[in-house]
Amino acid sequence: MPRRTARTTPPEWGRLHPTLDLHGETADDARRRTERWLRTRAAEGVRTVVVVTGRGRRSRGPPVLPGEVQDLLATLRGSLVASWEPEPGGGALRVELLSTRPPRRPPPEPPLPADSELRRRAEQSLAELGVAPTPLLLLAEMRRLRDRD
């Protein structure tokens, strides 16, 4: 009988928000990695993420990563980051991101009716201005005349 192998569960399973774990990173690497990761998550439309910095128990002196990441978040506030707060238990920050997706385009206008009189008036109006009636200009002038009436 074949032996069963243990399945490894991906680390993101069971987590409510995407999480970046910075344990073992240097301050510079953590800053670069965090900014790139936040920009990617925001571009994907993610609004809330968690950045794990650890509590700094293994480093000499005060913890480095929490302060470094908070400085980065302060720099990005308003352009990429809306707000952040410590996670319960410490060692992590919950970050609210601003949307970086382009705004949705309004639905296209319905096509203009094939009104020969409106088209004639638009051509005449453009001719009076001395403008060659390209399809886009003609369409814009037809809309202008239609909306004015």
Q: What is the pTM of this model?
A: 0.59
Calculate what percentage of the chain has a pLDDT beyond 90: 47
Of the listed ranges 13-27, 34-48, 103-117, the one predicted with least confidence:
103-117
Element (H, E) at 138: helix 135-148
Name the token pair of 42. Answer: 């925001």
pLDDT, residue 48, reads 96
List, for residues 71-128, the tens digit of each pLDDT value.
999 999 999 999 999 998 888 999 999 987 777 787 776 666 678 888 899 999 999 9
Residue 110 confidence (pLDDT): 61
For CATH 3.30.1370.110, list the domain ranges present in the chain. Answer: 19-97
Helix (H) or strand (E) holding 74, with range, is helix 65-76
- Long-range CB contact pairs, 112-121, < 8 A, 24+: 112/139, 112/142, 112/143, 112/146, 115/142, 118/142, 118/145, 118/146, 121/145
What CATH number belongs to 19-97?
A: 3.30.1370.110
pLDDT band at 143 (very low <50, low <70, confident <90, very high): confident
